[in-house]
Amino acid sequence: MEHSPDPAGEPESMAGTALERSNLYGFLAAIYRQEPGPELLSRINEPETRAALANAGVHLAEDFFGRPQEDVLKELTLEYTRLFIGPGGHISPHASVHMEDEGVGSLWGESTAQVKCFIESLGFEYKPDYSGLPDHIAVELEFMEALTAREAGAWGKDDREEAGNCLAVEKTFLDKHLILWIPAFCEKVEKESSLPFYTEMARLTAAFIRSERKALTPPRTDRRRR
């Protein structure tokens, strides 16, 4: 999962890296957007996806892939509802609930408005059929999916300035927002999940967000005199 976006890199290589990152953001967004359906399960069952997940350290038992699809979907739907919807002590998939300065259980907090403004100020729009809060984890991952896809397109045209602008926005959103709540959210999912699927997806999400932030943070230089 290691990658190092570098505005001085070769455009073709950088475009490929950005596209891979965009695909993973999109995949993770689909995991959290709603209860899984046949399309998502079929995508996970594709040899290419299974290989990519294995390379990322995701371990799903063979019976996950070998069981009847309807049984797996029913099990995952029940678990998704229990974890993220409730009723009862579910884990809210909204950033404001997990931000330290928002207060426990707070929806439509200050960070929600900030995220909405940030996303819309960059010209990105929400999906036409979406009526939920703008700080849902799926929405934020979709934003990063679109942003990294824009970056890939810029590299494809050898537009280094635009690619660099995209990288700067990605870093800002990671530093100022995603890293502040997604790892903590994923830790709660790991703890509460009764199915290996969501445990593994939570681990993958947290690891990816941390690796993204690390990759987009320039190494510190030692300025001490020798």
Distance (Å, whole) CA 45 – CA 64: 9
203, 186 Cβ separation under 8 angstroms: yes
| Superfamily of domain 11-215, CATH level 4 | TorD-like (1.10.3480.10)
Average pLDDT in the 193-204 region? Answer: 95
Distance (Å, whole) CA 109 – CA 27: 27
Between 98-107, 125-134, 193-202, the lowest mean confidence (pLDDT) is in 98-107
Instruction: Say what the pLDDT of residue 223 is.
Output: 46
Average pLDDT in the 123-150 region? Answer: 86
Q: Is 204 or 111 the better-scoring residue by pLDDT? A: 204
Q: Could you give the percent of the chain with pLDDT greater than 90?
A: 63
Place of tokens 């809210």: 92
181: left (phi over 0), alpha (psi -120 to 50) or beta: alpha
Instruction: Give residue limits of the domains in the chain.
Output: 11-215
Using CA atoms of 150, 151, 155, 157 in order, give the dihedral in degrees to the nearest 10: 20
- Helix, strand, coil shares of the chain, percent, nearest 5, are 65, 0, 30
